[in-house]
Chains A and B, each alone.
Chain A
Amino acid sequence: MATIAPPDLLIPGIDDVIRDAQKHSQDPGGEQTMVLNMGPQHPSTHGVLRLVLEIDGETVVSLAPDIGYLHTGIEKTCEAKFYQQIVPLTDRIDYLSPMSNELCYVLGVERLLELEIPDRAQTLRVLMNELTRIQSHLVWLGTHAMDIGALTVFLYCFREREEILRIFEMLSGQRMMASYFRVGGVSMEPPLDFWPKVRNFLKIMPGRINEYENLLAGNPIWAGRLKGVGPLSAADAIALGVSGPPLRASGVDWDMRRDMPYSGYEKYNFKVPVSTVGDTWARFTVRMEEMYESVKICIQAMDRMPEGSIVADAPKIVLPDREQMKTQMESLIHHFKIVTEGFAVPAGEVFQTIESPRGLMGYYIVSDGTAKPLRCHMRNPSFATLQALETMCKGKLLGDVVAVIGSIDIVLGEIDR
Chain B
Amino acid sequence: MTPALLTPEAIEEAQPGNPAVAALRSFAERMKWDRNELTVTIAASNIVAAAAATKAAGYNYLMDVTAVDWYPSEPRFQVSYHVLSISTKKLMRLAVMLSGEDPSVDTVTSVWPSANYYEREVFDLFGIRFAGHPNMTRIMMPTDWKGHPLRKDYPVEGYR
Q: Do A and B bind each other?
A: yes
Chain A residues lying within 8 Å of B68, measured Cβ to Cβ, are 349, 366, 374-375
The CA-CA distance from A114 to B4 in the complex, in Å, is: 13
| Central interface residue in B110, B114, B141, by most chain A CB within 10 Å | B114
A4-B134 in contact (CB<8A)? yes
- Whether A337 sits at the interface, judged by CB under 8 Å, is no
- Whether B60 sits at the interface, judged by CB under 8 Å, is yes
Chain A residues lying within 8 Å of B106, measured Cβ to Cβ, are 1-2
- Whether A223 sits at the interface, judged by CB under 8 Å, is no
B109-A5 in contact (CB<8A)? yes
B61 is contacted by which of A68, A71, A241 (Cβ under 8 Å)? A241
- Whether B62 sits at the interface, judged by CB under 8 Å, is yes
Chain B residues lying within 8 Å of A328, measured Cβ to Cβ, are none
Provide the A227-247 mask, 1 if CB < 8 A to any CB of B, else 0. Answer: 000000000001111000000
Given contacts A11-B116, A67-B139, A364-B82, contact A4 B132 (CB under 8 A): yes
Q: Which of B1-53 contact A (CB under 8 A)?
A: 1-2, 4, 34-37, 39, 48
Chain A: minimal CB distance from B113 (Å): 4
Provide the B50-67 mask, 1 if CB < 8 A to any CB of A, else 0. Answer: 000000000011111010
A2-B132 in contact (CB<8A)? yes
The CA-CA distance from A18 to B150 in the complex, in Å, is: 30
The CA-CA distance from A375 to B126 in the complex, in Å, is: 12
Chain B residues lying within 8 Å of A2, measured Cβ to Cβ, are 48, 106-110, 131-132
Chain A residues lying within 8 Å of B109, measured Cβ to Cβ, are 2, 4-5
Chain A residues lying within 8 Å of B93, measured Cβ to Cβ, are 349, 351
The CA-CA distance from A258 to B66 in the complex, in Å, is: 26
Chain A: minimal CB distance from B14 (Å): 17
Count of interface residues, chain B, beta-carbon cutoff 8 Å: 49
Chain B residue, CB-CB nearest to A386: B117
B140 is contacted by which of A9, A68, A346, A384 (Cβ under 8 Å)? A68
A384 is contacted by which of B60, B117, B132, B141 (Cβ under 8 Å)? B117
The CA-CA distance from A176 to B89 in the complex, in Å, is: 33
Chain B residues lying within 8 Å of A6, measured Cβ to Cβ, are 113
A383-B113 in contact (CB<8A)? no
Given contacts A1-B106, A2-B132, A11-B113, contact A379 B37 (CB under 8 A): no
Count of interface residues, chain A, beta-carbon cutoff 8 Å: 51
- Whether A193 sits at the interface, judged by CB under 8 Å, is no
The CA-CA distance from A252 to B150 in the complex, in Å, is: 35
Chain B residues lying within 8 Å of A75, measured Cβ to Cβ, are 125, 150
Chain A residue, CB-CB nearest to B109: A5
Chain A residues lying within 8 Å of B91, measured Cβ to Cβ, are 260, 351, 353
Chain A residues lying within 8 Å of B141, measured Cβ to Cβ, are 68, 71
A252-B86 in contact (CB<8A)? yes
- Whether A387 sits at the interface, judged by CB under 8 Å, is yes
The CA-CA distance from A259 to B141 in the complex, in Å, is: 36
The CA-CA distance from A13 to B80 in the complex, in Å, is: 24
Chain A residues lying within 8 Å of B80, measured Cβ to Cβ, are 349, 364
A362-B150 in contact (CB<8A)? no
A5-B134 in contact (CB<8A)? yes
A240-B89 in contact (CB<8A)? no
The CA-CA distance from A3 to B34 in the complex, in Å, is: 33
A13-B137 in contact (CB<8A)? yes
Provide the A374-417 mask, 1 if CB < 8 A to any CB of B, else 0. Answer: 11010100011011000000000000000000000000000011
The CA-CA distance from A261 to B91 in the complex, in Å, is: 13
Chain B residue, CB-CB nearest to A381: B63
A114-B137 in contact (CB<8A)? no
Provide the A1-41 mask, 1 if CB < 8 A to any CB of B, else 0. Answer: 11111100111110110000000000000000000000000
Known: A2-B109, A349-B39, A353-B63. 8 other contacts (CB 8 A): A1-B106, A11-B135, A13-B137, A80-B156, A111-B36, A238-B86, A353-B91, A364-B82
Please name 28 pairs of A and B residues whose Cβ atoms are closer than 8 Å in the assembled complex, sorted by A.
Answer: A2-B107, A4-B132, A5-B110, A10-B134, A16-B135, A67-B140, A68-B140, A68-B142, A71-B140, A75-B150, A76-B156, A111-B35, A111-B36, A238-B60, A238-B61, A238-B86, A239-B112, A241-B61, A254-B86, A348-B34, A349-B34, A349-B68, A350-B35, A351-B64, A364-B80, A375-B68, A379-B66, A416-B140
Interface residues of B (CB under 8 A from A): 1-2, 4, 34-37, 39, 48, 60-64, 66, 68-70, 80, 82, 84, 86, 89, 91, 93, 106-110, 112-114, 116-117, 125, 131-132, 134-135, 137-142, 149-150, 156
Interface residues of A (CB under 8 A from B): 1-6, 9-13, 15-16, 67-68, 71, 73, 75-76, 80, 111-112, 114, 238-241, 252, 254, 259-260, 346, 348-351, 353, 360, 362, 364, 366, 374-375, 377, 379, 383-384, 386-387, 416-417
